[in-house]
Structure 1
């Protein structure tokens, strides 16, 4: 993917600032970056075991600009912040939305992209709207520990939908494909990427 010079410069400055405090006073030769590895097109593991995606491109570009080796470490999403706090890696680059709750646990850089939420349903679905009332009595899947899960529970759940949460986005989509869900809510770019491949 092509990364704009502005995004790279802003992210590099933020990473350098984080690195100054988080990595110690001595110059780091290697930075460990935590990511999920299960959220295409942002981060995913290829069949041959390589981690790739937009977040990985950002991480590698930052490391190159900082002249350090970049080690990508995959971590289940619901444990990614605890793993950072346990120093399993030095920073997270993983399509993480900035929320007030998360700001209590980790320091964020400026966000480097914005993606809206989207809802996807099977072609033969009777759903004609994404309004909460339209999903009353329906089952909506989302990845656990995400802003999409919060929305599914807080908005659709209060309107009478059942929010079913999954460890990964892929598991939610699999249940949608197998008819166990009426819809899945996720980042628009993630769903568009999946629909292109489906």
Structure 2
């Protein structure tokens, strides 16, 4: 008897619910449009004077490895890509102000940089290189070979950390930019 009552209640509930479903409005263009997710735009910041990573080509088009990586990220995420060029020293401060979602400009995850930004895992490695002025004798680029010698390096970079760690008996001269370090060559 209890089974018959339960079955009767179920059939009754089903009979009442069916007309309610049938009365649901058909989706129209307006409701479908509102339900479609909007395409997201990702704002990237980069600089333009670090070929082959980010630079303007002969047609004045921003290009390079980092620019290609940013565009690939947008393509993978089906997002619009807005890549803005700023001076390198202003990239992380602009990110901290919320002027972009990401910076893609070959920054090193130094302790100071980690205070203001999160970093991805490294996706390429740049080995340290030593350079001297043309016409000077070739140097032995080892800690022993550069003992007592001046080494110019860009301040706050992974290369500065490298020479400070391994070339302790050299006179390390940090400069604000790579260009200034290069200009210091004697």
Does structure 1 retain, via aligned residues, the 8 Å contact 2:133–2:185?
no
- C-alpha displacement of 1:132: 3.4
Alignment partner of 1:66 out of 65, 77, 102 = 77
Query: Aligned pairs, how many?
Result: 150
* Residues 94-152 of structure 1: per-residue CA shift (max 9 Å, x gap): 11222343333212222211222111223432342112343355443333332223444
* Residues 75-104 of structure 1: per-residue CA shift (max 9 Å, x gap): 222222111101121101111222343333
Deviating more after overlay: 113-122 vs 128-137: 128-137
Taking structure 1 as the reference length, what is the TM-score of the superposition?
0.62
Q: In the alignment, does 2:110 pair up with 1:88? A: no
Instruction: Give 1:125's aligned residue.
Output: 136
Larger radius of gyration: 2
Does structure 2 retain, via aligned residues, the 8 Å contact 1:78–1:144?
no
Q: Relative to structure 1, is the Cα distance of residues 28 and 81 closer, same or farther in structure 2, using a 3 angstrom cutoff?
A: farther
| Structure of higher RCO (CA pairs closer than 8 Å, 6+ residues apart) | 1
Q: In the alignment, does 2:112 pair up with 1:108? A: no
Instruction: Give 1:55's aligned residue.
Output: 66
Secondary structure of 1:61's partner?
helix
Instruction: Give 1:181's aligned residue.
Output: 185
Structure 2 unaligned regions, length at least 5 = 1-36
Q: Cα RMSD over matched residues?
A: 2.7
Does structure 2 retain, via aligned residues, the 8 Å contact 1:32–1:71?
yes
